[in-house]
Amino acid sequence: MSGDLFPAVLLRREDITPEVTLFEFGPELGRTLPSFTAGSHIRVEVADGLIRSYSLNNDEAEKNRYIIAVKREENGRGGSLGMHRNLRPGARVHISSPQNFMPVVPAERYLLIAGGIGITPIISILRKLQREGHTNWHLIYLVRNHSQAAYLSELMSEELRDRVTIHASDDAGYFDFWPYVQKQAAAHLYYCGPKSMMDALYALTIHWPRSHIHYEEFSGGTLSKAGNLPFRVRRAGSDEVIEIPAEESVVEVFRRLGYKPKSSCETGTCRTCIVGLIAGKADHRDLCLSTAERSHCFAPCVSRALGEELTLEI
């Protein structure tokens, strides 16, 4: 278990679409949960040593409960299936304190864009805006079809539906963001969704001030492994040498071998997996280590070796 996790209790689970299940956590008896702000996420130990990040869906004004929504990914990296299969109400689950990479800042107007399960941080932001009486917001919610749209009935309520655009690609195909982002007009943009949507929005808003753009990376995709070469990892302080094939990361190999490497995002952004680099030339592929740290640290979820062998504190 990662050192900064603490125990909480799963109070409730509920299927809100055929693929998405909501999980509600509360504190253990006699304890409280740290407060959070809209846009936050927590890390959850979904199985022994397997940690995943999930956005909080509920309103920041709510005390002592965290609600996350998890899409079942049959071909994912095991996190969502672990949640869906293993967690039942009453379970003791280790979670982290909330962290926020896209806090809501004061603005005249808010443009919110969600793709699929990327609705989860956006719905928390929307709930905050509603509670505080902000009415100058617009949500664009891209889904494959209406049956897979989490929170659809809430978003289609009389109170909200005038400010919500739902686009189902099965019926309507491609969505053109350009008319919505062409003029920045003092808006702040918050978005979360699959990589293709994130990349498109980044490119389409290149004329916006960067301070008006807020997003959360959605790490459901898989990293390209094309061009990877195999290498060896020597465990510091032991004679153990482990082969890392081209098609697996160091974290994946160690997990397969029965070790319990710490990991969360597995995209090189969260720092959960960082280990000491003792010897060898690393091919650093993370987005979280500083230049100085790269001389002695290594992200085994994504990084590889430039030579044949690395010695790691793992």
Q: Which of 117, 263, 305, 312 binds ligand FES (CB under 6 A)?
A: 263
- Contact call for residue 80 and ligand FES (CB under 6 A): no
Q: Which of 138, 188, 187, 190 is nearest to 167 (CA)?
A: 138
Question: Nearest distance from residue 116's CB to ligand FES, in Å?
Answer: 21
- Contact call for residue 220 and ligand FES (CB under 6 A): no
In whole angstroms, give the CA distance from residue 197 to residue 215. 11
Question: Nearest distance from residue 77's CB to ligand FES, in Å?
Answer: 10
Tokens representing 226?
């094309």
- Contact call for residue 285 and ligand FES (CB under 6 A): no
Q: Which pairing describes strands 187-192 and 109-115: parallel, antiparallel, or unpaired?
A: parallel
x/- string (CB under 6 A) for ligand FES, residues 291-310?
--------x-x---------
Per DSSP, 148 falls in state G
Q: Which of 40, 266, 298, 314 binds ligand FES (CB under 6 A)?
A: 266
In whole angstroms, give the CA distance from residue 110 to residue 8. 33
Q: How far apart are the first and last CA of the chain?
A: 14
- Contact call for residue 50 and ligand FES (CB under 6 A): no
- Contact call for residue 268 and ligand FES (CB under 6 A): yes
- Contact call for residue 270 and ligand FES (CB under 6 A): yes
Contact 72, 81 (CB under 8 A): yes
Q: Which residues ranging from 143 to 172 are in contact with ligand FES (CB under 6 A)?
A: none
Q: Which of 273, 277, 312, 314 binds ligand FES (CB under 6 A)?
A: 273
Tokens representing 104?
């809501």
- Contact call for residue 42 and ligand FES (CB under 6 A): no
Question: Nearest distance from residue 263's CB to ligand FES, in Å?
Answer: 4
In whole angstroms, give the CA distance from residue 182 to residue 259. 50
56 vs 297 by CB, closer to ligand FES: 297
Total residue length of the chain: 314
Question: Nearest distance from residue 274's CB to ligand FES, in Å?
Answer: 7
Tokens representing 105?
């800042």
Contact 101, 53 (CB under 8 A): no
Q: Which residues ranging from 179 to 218 are in contact with ligand FES (CB under 6 A)?
A: none
Contact 57, 69 (CB under 8 A): yes
- Contact call for residue 96 and ligand FES (CB under 6 A): no
Residues that bind ligand FES (CB under 6 A): 263-266, 268-273, 286, 288, 299, 301
